[in-house]
Amino acid sequence: MTTPLRIWHPFTNALLDPAPLHVASAEGVYLHLTDGRRILDAISSWWVNLHGHANPRISSAVAEQSRKLEQVILAGFTHDPAEELAARLRKWAPAQLTHMFLSDDGSTAVEVALKLAVQHFQNLERPEKHEIVALADGYHGDTAGAMSVSDSSPFTAPFESMRYPVHRVHSAYCYRCPVGLKRETCHIECVQKLQDLLAERGHKIAAVIVEPLLQGVGGMIVHPVEFLQKIRALCTRHDVLLIADEVLTGFGRTGKMFACDLANVVPDLMCLSKGITGGFLTMGATLCTDRVESAFRSENRMHTFHHGHSYTGNALACAAANASLQIFEDEPVFDRIAAISRVNADRLADLRGMRQVGDTRQVGTIGALELRADDPGYLSALRPKLYDFFLRRGVLLRPLGNVIYVIPPYVITREELHHVYDIIVEAIEALL
């Protein structure tokens, strides 16, 4: 008898975690399991889905594209869906971002941004300017470079030897303020560490990478807009590139198309993925300014950006992205986003009064609550209990340790979102 080839599921310990649930189909906010159960996907399947599962408009666009051109090498070639994507994103992205480099997912969008930043200064004959600064509690992906700029965590612990050195500065984690202040009276003193670092070593630093306004995996940590604005000003002052990793926050999650828009900040490089295709297909995009790109336009071949992935600019993924952006243009997507934001605000205000809840946080469609726990952090013992409870009640929520959060597809109804919050309240009452 042949040994079966088993799927090794991500973030899953075959001994400790329940067997994976088998999904037969999905529609809107619901996953339909092969055993007949229905699960409400309150986290947009790892934050990718925007307009509902199996959205018919995106699905048709992908099917139609597959009959014309599925994939072609993007080095030396281009195609309509990629050109259309550039034109469509032009309408939403800050005007100063003039070039788009396509890749495969969030991690590769980040790798591209980091490499562009470093090679930019290399090409300008300033090779000493190659160091990178990142935030405490940051997360930027699981490939080696993205892992290096992510903060140390259970995800990175086995791989310390593979991570390159990065300067780590404070995040604006107000609930656990790194400089011991209160938001009501502070002046964003947490940015001082970055200020001192750039004053001392700015001439050696290529880029600062941040998740703008919201650190997702780190615990749904919401920053004051002033924090991002101050980082932008410091980067400008010290001729350091600002990389905004909008992989999670992009495409409306925070209430605006991009989190940077909420703070009126324009980064030098912007990483996009997740929602870019509406959650249909994998794709990464790194946008940059003309200034960044111009260092690569050169008579010297060595100044070329020698980076590319086989499926870069996949025509089906571009078609999905174009259909998703078309939905932004002709459906009331921002009304849906506003409705979700209102329910989040109302329900989090009530949850704040529960003795088990230490903090509540929200930016737009993303609502989170940090439970009081003896063992806060990703490996909190609360996490598996909460996850199981939610699934038994028919809701997919994957707490980050003691932090429960919702990031629903935009087509969730008010009633469905209230139901999700009702289950969260039930779980807190039952388990804590």
> Given the complex with ligand PLP, which of 190 and 285 has the nearer CB atom?
285
Which amino acid makes up residue 251? Answer: F
For the bound state, the minimum distance from the C-beta of residue 185 to ligand PLP, rounded and expressed in Å, comes to: 30
> Given the complex with ligand PLP, which of 140 and 238 has the nearer CB atom?
140
For the bound state, the minimum distance from the C-beta of residue 311 to ligand PLP, rounded and expressed in Å, comes to: 13
For the bound state, the minimum distance from the C-beta of residue 432 to ligand PLP, rounded and expressed in Å, comes to: 27
Q: Tell me the C-alpha distance between 249 and 325, whole Å.
A: 16
**DSSP labels, 225-258:** HHHHHHHHHHHHHTT-EEEEE-TTTTTTTTSSSS
Contact 253, 222 (CB under 8 A): no
Pick the closest to residue 305 from 78, 106, 84, 122 (CA basis): 122
Q: Quote the longest CA-to-CA distance of the chain.
A: 69
For the bound state, the minimum distance from the C-beta of residue 29 to ligand PLP, rounded and expressed in Å, comes to: 20
| Residue with the CB atom nearest ligand PLP in the bound state | 106
Burial of residue 331, with CB atoms counted within 10 A of its CB: 0-12 exposed, 13-18 middle, 19 or more buried:
middle
> Given the complex with ligand PLP, which of 31 and 247 has the nearer CB atom?
247
The DSSP output letter for 223 is P
**DSSP labels, 326-363:** HHHHHS-HHHHHHHHHHHHHHHHHHHTTSTTEEEEEEE
> Given the complex with ligand PLP, which of 217 and 228 has the nearer CB atom?
217
Contact 269, 287 (CB under 8 A): yes
> Given the complex with ligand PLP, which of 94 and 279 has the nearer CB atom?
279
Contact 390, 381 (CB under 8 A): no
**DSSP labels, 388-404:** HHHHHTTEE---BTTEE
Q: Which helix (H) or strand (E) holds 214?
A: strand 214-215
Pairing label, strands 241-245, 269-272: parallel
For the bound state, the minimum distance from the C-beta of residue 148 to ligand PLP, rounded and expressed in Å, comes to: 13
For the bound state, the minimum distance from the C-beta of residue 370 to ligand PLP, rounded and expressed in Å, comes to: 18
> Given the complex with ligand PLP, which of 265 and 351 has the nearer CB atom?
265
For the bound state, the minimum distance from the C-beta of residue 13 to ligand PLP, rounded and expressed in Å, comes to: 19
> Given the complex with ligand PLP, which of 211 and 268 has the nearer CB atom?
211
> Given the complex with ligand PLP, which of 123 and 277 has the nearer CB atom?
277
For residues 252, 253, 258, 259, the Cα torsion angle rounded to the nearest 10 degrees is 150
> Given the complex with ligand PLP, which of 104 and 359 has the nearer CB atom?
104
For the bound state, the minimum distance from the C-beta of residue 156 to ligand PLP, rounded and expressed in Å, comes to: 13
For the bound state, the minimum distance from the C-beta of residue 326 to ligand PLP, rounded and expressed in Å, comes to: 23
For the bound state, the minimum distance from the C-beta of residue 150 to ligand PLP, rounded and expressed in Å, comes to: 8
Burial 259-274 (b: 16+ CB within 10 A, else e): bbbbbebbbbbbbbbb
CA dist 229 to 156, 232, 336, 359, Å?
A: 29, 5, 28, 24
Structure tokens given for 42: 């309150």
> Given the complex with ligand PLP, which of 103 and 123 has the nearer CB atom?
103
Q: Tell me the C-alpha distance between 348 and 255, whole Å.
A: 17
Point out which residues bind ligand PLP (CB under 6 A): 105-107, 110, 139-141, 211, 216-217, 245, 247-248, 273
